[in-house]
Structure 1
Amino acid sequence: MTDAQHTRVLYDHPMSANCQKIHMMLACLGLPYENIFVDVLNGATKENGFTQMNPMQQIPVLRDGADTISDSQAILVYLAAQYGPEWADNTPIGMAKIAEWLSFATKEVSNGPQMARLWHLTGEDSIDIDAATAAGLKVLTQLQSHLESKKWLCLDRPTIADIAVFPYIATARDGKLPLDDYPAVCAWLERIRALPGYRPLEGSAEMADKYQNSKEAYA
């Protein structure tokens, strides 16, 4: 089956920065795909059809031919292994370094910038905004220290590690985090935006207007 005949579908929401990772990776790899909107805010991920596809009831989900992969980090690993080995590494230590940053995206970035953004976006009452803000500031401080002497997160080149961490840092101002106080982080964001295949976050017009402080992160 040629790629033109291959059925590849990404289930996403345009305001999800986790989904942006996959749009970016697919674009960087030049892979065609369909896009299906999932109305997360109105419970679409809890419907039976979606739950059968992903019991975790989360987006993004990628269907690639007969294969279905969920979780943004897992999808990045799959896409690199299947289509773009230059975005990963062929050595144990190289993959371990990438995995460190995938874990950082899943834990530290999720608990900090992602939760702060979600609270300011939706007012989700299960989020401790003070804890999320503190965690977000810690993340930005750690990245600033790391990137003061490096252009990329690891291996001296862009990898899926950079794609995994990027979106919720790029939208940190949505969570009222002082991104401009971290110049090395901002310079890294600009290097990612210069990559062939970079795709801004496609939010609704009213959301992009609401978050004017993060306007460069949106289409």
Structure 2
Amino acid sequence: MKLYHYPLSGHAHRAALFLSLTGVPHQLIEVDLSAGEHKQPAFLALNAFGEVPVLDDAGVIIADSLAILVYIARKLGPSHWLPSEPAEEAEVQRWLSVAAGKIAYGACAARLITVFGAPFNAEEVIGRAYTTLAVMEQTLKDQRWLASTEQPTIADVALYSYIARAPEGNVDLTSYPQVQAWLRQIEELPGFVPFQRTRAGLQA
């Protein structure tokens, strides 16, 4: 498998992280976003939206980080990463929706302001990030993993990157000890690869 990625993209990191956690052989191909490589015809042929990550599995092209997580999990076959029991799978899908919505327009957007100069309203997206963190904190008080499973799922992978680097977007994790413990659990998993840090926001 080939994964087209960019080291500072949390979307790309979640895909690279999952490939590493599962031990799936893969090659990382960096796309130079600063040079506009993602807007060139060769890359647009892989993803018409011009976004990373993109997975190339022997000619099967999967664009979108969450789609990549589902694809890899299904390729692995039955596993704890994507449960087949209906209630558990629904819970995983719920958190994938959180990743696509509340995280993307909360912690992710807050980091985009400080790292890439994105024109979001800082107060709005930081407030949304704290609302999501409060729900996560409450959820994790009585369980180890987000989807109420005994082992981690792709839901945990989907949320990890932007929560781990939330301080770069001026989102303080100090008041969320359960979330911090959850982050450490993921970081202790075999095959874990860190998300590249930047000196931005609270990390400046």
Short-chain TM bin = over 0.9
**Which has more helix, going by share of residues?**
1
User: What is the distance in 1 between the residues matched to 2:177 and 2:34?
Assistant: 34
Give the drift of 1:149.
Answer: 1.2
Amino acid at match of 2:162: Y
SS at match of 1:69: strand
Q: Give the conservation status (yes or no) of the 8 Å contact 1:171–1:214.
A: no
Aligned identity (percent) is: 34
User: What is the distance in 2 between the residues matched to 1:49 and 1:169?
Assistant: 32
Q: Which residue of 1 aligns with 2:19?
A: 26
1:105 and 2:105 equivalent? no
> TM-score, normalization: structure 2?
0.94
Q: Which residue of 2 aligns with 1:75?
A: 68
Give the drift of 1:48.
Answer: 1.0
Q: Give the conservation status (yes or no) of the 8 Å contact 1:80–1:88.
A: yes
Q: Give the conservation status (yes or no) of the 8 Å contact 1:29–1:84.
A: no
Give the drift of 1:214.
Answer: 5.4
Cα-to-partner distance string for 1:20-50 (whole Å, 9 max, x where unaligned): 1111111111112111111123322111111
Structure 2, unmatched stretches of 5+, are: none
Q: Which residue of 2 aligns with 1:148?
A: 141
Q: Which residue of 2 aligns with 1:119?
A: 113
> TM-score, normalization: structure 1?
0.87
Q: Give the conservation status (yes or no) of the 8 Å contact 1:11–1:36.
A: yes
SS at match of 1:179: coil
Give aligned pairs, total: 202
User: What is the distance in 1 between the residues matched to 2:187 and 2:57?
Assistant: 26
User: What is the distance in 1 between the residues matched to 2:200 and 2:126?
Assistant: 17
1:38 and 2:31 equivalent? yes
Q: Give the conservation status (yes or no) of the 8 Å contact 1:61–1:70.
A: yes
Pairwise CA RMSD: 1.6
